[in-house]
């Protein structure tokens, strides 16, 4: 079984799942998944997990993400991006850089966001975009998100390009629409590129067609942001069996290794005892 992670530069026009399937066929590993869905019109960093590495997805999904997006003002689409159908047009007020930056600053911090109908989020076991394609509006729950950074890159005529660093679950299409409304008009995204997921950068990514087995990143390296502890003696068997025990550390999460190879992720409980969160063998 092939096991490890890949940093992929997702191609525009493909779904995230299509990119994963392409890699699965290319490397001959059926067990495959990805972290954070990118819309078909978007490109950029997609973390793909293969084999046993799929077990570490819960520890990567919560990472912050950084995007570069272009927002076209004055035109609204039903999807919030350039692939959708025209919904409305609205005049664009006279804007300047200072006005835009003030609006940007108002979005920074914790807030609530309503997921768009055109998204892969499931309601009653069915993706929202499937309801939307049938002309149905489904009740959705707002999500708490955090926008850590929102930076104006350029502004010309009816287009704004911006950089955003956001928490898990943030929809940049919705953020773009909300920015447009606060500027006194409507808008939609014409481009979206994911630049980073946590410490992982697009600069180190490859096109799916160019990846090779030697490009796989080991679980230990993918979880390098986590405290690592080398177990020896009786603790090796205990860790492999998911047993509880104490460790001479106080970190909440710890990656247990044997000869620097990942065994499991353990969590410190309130009583100081560590319990197994996820076995990685």
Give the pLDDT of residue 61: 92
Rounded to an integer, what is the distance from CA 122 to the centroid of its chain? 16
234 is catalytic: no
For residue 263, give every residue at least 6 positions away whose Cβ sits within 8 Å of its Cβ, in sequence order, or none: 231, 236, 239, 240, 256, 257, 279, 280, 281
- CATH number for the domain running over 65-81+94-194: 3.30.2350.10
Query: Which CATH topology does 226-279 take?
Result: 2.30.130
| Stated pTM of the model | 0.92
Place of tokens 């460790």: 247
Domains 4-62+199-218 and 226-279 share a fold: no
Tokens of 252: 């909440």
Residue 193 C-alpha from the chain's centroid: 12
Name residues whose C-beta falls within 8 Å of residue 14's C-beta, 6 or more positions apart in sequence.
22, 40
List the Cα angle 161/209/27 in 5-degree steps. 130
- For every residue of 118-153, DSSP letters joined together read SSS-EETTEEHHHHHHTT-------EEEEEEEEEEE
Kindly list the domain boundaries of the chain, sorted by start residue: 4-62+199-218, 65-81+94-194, 226-279
pLDDT per residue of the chain (281 residues) written in tens, 0 to 9: 889 999 999 999 999 999 999 999 999 999 999 999 999 999 999 999 999 999 999 999 999 999 999 999 999 999 999 999 999 999 999 999 999 999 999 999 999 998 887 777 777 777 777 877 877 777 788 889 999 999 999 999 899 999 999 999 999 999 999 999 999 999 999 999 999 999 999 999 999 999 999 999 999 999 999 999 999 999 999 999 999 999 999 899 999 999 999 999 999 998 889 999 999 98
Q: What is the pLDDT of residue 138?
A: 75
Tokens of 280: 């990685």
Q: Which of 39, 210, 215, 234 is catalytic?
A: 39
Helix (H) or strand (E) holding 179: helix 172-182
For residue 221, the cross-strand partners are none
What pLDDT, in 10s, does the model give residues 88-147? Answer: 999 999 999 999 999 999 999 999 998 887 777 777 777 777 877 877 777 788 889 999
- 4-62+199-218 placed in CATH 3.40.605.10: no
Residue 174: the pLDDT is 95
């Amino acid at each position: 079984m092939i096991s490890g992670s890949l940093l992929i530069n997702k191609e525009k026009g493909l779904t995230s799942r299509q990119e994963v399937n392409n890699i699965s066929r290319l490397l001959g590993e059926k067990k495959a998944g990805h972290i954070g869905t990118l819309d078909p019109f978007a490109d950029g960093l997609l973390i793909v997990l293969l084999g046993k590495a799929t077990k570490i997805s819960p520890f990567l999904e919560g990472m912050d993400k950084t995007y570069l997006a272009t927002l076209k003002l004055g035109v609204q689409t039903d999807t919030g991006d350039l692939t959708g159908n025209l919904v409305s047009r609205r005049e664009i007020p006279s804007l300047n850089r200072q006005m835009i930056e003030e609006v940007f600053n108002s979005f920074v911090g914790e807030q609530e966001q309503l997921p768009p109908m055109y998204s892969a989020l499931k309601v009653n076991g069915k993706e929202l975009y499937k309801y939307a394609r049938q002309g149905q509006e489904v009740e959705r729950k707002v999500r708490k998100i955090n926008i850590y950074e929102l930076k104006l890159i350029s502004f010309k005529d009816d287009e704004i390009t911006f950089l955003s660093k956001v928490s898990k679950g943030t929809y940049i299409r919705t953020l773009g629409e909300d920015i447009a409304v606060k500027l006194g008009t409507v808008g939609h995204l014409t481009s979206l590129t994911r630049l980073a997921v946590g410490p992982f950068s697009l600069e180190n990514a490859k096109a799916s067609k160019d990846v090779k087995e030697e490009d796989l990143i080991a679980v230990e390296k993918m979880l390098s942001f986590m405290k690592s502890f080398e177990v020896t003696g009786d603790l090796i068997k205990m860790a492999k069996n998911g047993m509880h025990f104490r460790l001479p550390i106080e970190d909440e999460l710890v990656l247990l290794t044997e000869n620097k190879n990942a065994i499991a992720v353990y969590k410190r409980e309130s009583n100081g005892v560590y319990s197994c969160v996820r076995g990685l063998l």
